[in-house]
Amino acid sequence: MKKVSKLLVELSVALVVSITLFTVLPSKTMAASIGLSITTSPVNEVLSSKPGTEVSTTLHVQNNNALPLPMTIKLYTFSADGNSGRPLLIPATPADIFLNWAHFTPSSFVAQPDVPVAVTMTIDIPKTASLGYNYGVAFEPVITSANKGVSLNGSNVILILLDTASGNEVHSIQVTSFTASKKLYEYLPVTFYVNIHNNGNVFLSAGGDIFVSKTANFLPGSIIGTIAVNTAQGNILPDTNRVFQEQWTNGFPVFQPKQIDGHEISKNNKIVYQLNWNFSQVDKLRFGKYYAKLIMSYSNGERQVPVTAVLSFWVMPWKLMLIALFLLLLIIGMVIVVFLLIHRVRRLQRGTSRRRG
């Protein structure tokens, strides 16, 4: 009897806690019912101006839907999430006073379909400002949520790095590590990782090249490959690391991203590579030990400061080498067989001659 009553209680509780969540159309506009699509440009920007001045930039946003979309602007700050340059977006808090320095014209607007809207962002930098500040400027459609269900919204965030060019800035970076993904490659590409640490107190960008040579002294004329590093001019936030990944692809044969109908193929979130045999590049068959020298530079506010690092790696196309060795042995074997045959025929000829004599 107790079991039955307990079961009834549980069933009634289960019925009571059954929660109905209805589909809702949260937006005031028809556009929202068919989805949202926004394009913003640029994706990030560096601004620099001294304390006590103001600095402006123009940001563009476009509504890609067929109907007008009311838009608003929200501000975030951000830090580094890992070492890839991915921002860790942080919702604004009252402590982020610097966010109040920024204002926008217009601050809210209705984005007409396929019409870019230029928004001027102006930052009034107070005299007390120092070092750098990170702004995340989000363009977000105004959507009125219904009072039940799950509504969805989308926004694009433009990252703004503000350098106040104040006198207490310390610009300094160092190469924490410069490595290749492997010590031994069969074929190119060779993947390099450049790990940079910003040990200053303001964000910095650094650029440069990796030079590849067959000799360790990198004399002029010995450079057989040059790979640009950080061509996107990515920044390194203070007291963080950033890893730049670059590839040396100038070889024969070389693994290249597999393409179908001009599109790169990926599987399990990784690009699919295939070996490309472009025989016009046969002179770029890589074999042996190679040296790579990293030369990057950054501005310390007065001049460009170089940072360098060197590594070595091997390229051994062992399958090609085995095939070449096999062919060589085959040729040698054939020569020996032919030599022996000739020798045997001559012996037979001499034997025949003696018998006739």
Partner 1 sequence: MWGIKTIIGLSALMFASFSASGTYSLNSYSFGPGGTNSAASNTYRTQSNLGEISGTANSNTYTSKSGAVQTEQLNVPAAPTLSNGSGTYYNELQFTLNTGILPSSTTYAIAVSPNNFTTTYFVQATGALGGSQVYQTYTAWGGSSGSYMTGLSNSTTYEVKVAAMEGLFTNTEFGPYASSTTTAPSISLSISPTSSNLGSLTAGSVITSTTNITASLTTDAESGANVFVFGQYGGLRSPSKSYTIAGVSGNLAALPEGFGLQGVNATQSSGGPLSLVSPYNQSANNVGIDSTAPYPILTTPKEVQSGSSVIELQAKSANIDPAAIDYQEQLTFSAAAAF
The dihedral built from the CA positions of residue 346, 349, 355 and 356, taken in this order, carries a sign that is negative
Q: For residues 328, 331, 335 and 338, what is the CA-based torsion angle, rounded to 10 degrees?
A: 160
3-state SS of 230-255 is CCCCCEECCCCEEEEEEEECCCECEE
Closer to partner 1 by Cβ: residue 157 or 180:
157
Closer to partner 1 by Cβ: residue 1 or 21:
21
The yes or no reply on residue 233 touching partner 1 (CB under 8 A) is yes
The yes or no reply on residue 263 touching partner 1 (CB under 8 A) is yes
The yes or no reply on residue 278 touching partner 1 (CB under 8 A) is no
CB of 165 to partner 1, least distance (A): 19
Closer to partner 1 by Cβ: residue 34 or 342:
34
Q: What burial letters (b/e) apply to 57-87, b meaning 16+ CB within 10 Å?
A: bebebbbebeebbbbebebbbbebeebebeb
Task: Figure out which of the listed residues 7, 8, 43, 329 binds partner 1, where binding follows CB under 8 A.
Answer: 43
Give the footprint of partner 1 on residues 8-37 (CB under 8 A).
Answer: 10, 13-14, 16-27, 32-37
User: Is-contact 180 192, C-beta < 8 A?
Assistant: yes
The yes or no reply on residue 95 touching partner 1 (CB under 8 A) is no
Site string for partner 1, 51-90 (x = CB under 8 A): ---------x---x-----------x-x-xx--xxxx-xx
Give the footprint of partner 1 on residues 288-327 (CB under 8 A).
Answer: none
Alpha-carbon gap, residue 309 to 319, rounded angstroms: 32
Residue 68: cis peptide before it, omega within 30 degrees of 0:
no
Task: Figure out which of the listed residues 73, 75, 204, 237 binds partner 1, where binding follows CB under 8 A.
Answer: 237
The dihedral built from the CA positions of residue 319, 320, 325 and 331, taken in this order, carries a sign that is positive
Stretch that binds partner 1, among 119-127, 187-195, 225-233, 313-321 (CB under 8 A): 225-233
Stretch that binds partner 1, among 211-219, 230-238, 293-301, 344-352 (CB under 8 A): 230-238
Task: Figure out which of the listed residues 70, 132, 136, 238 binds partner 1, where binding follows CB under 8 A.
Answer: 136
Q: Which residues pair with 297 in a beta bridge?
A: 207, 306
Stretch (H or E) spanning 212: strand 207-213
User: Is-contact 65 31, C-beta < 8 A?
Assistant: yes
Give the footprint of partner 1 on residues 147-166 (CB under 8 A).
Answer: 147-159, 161
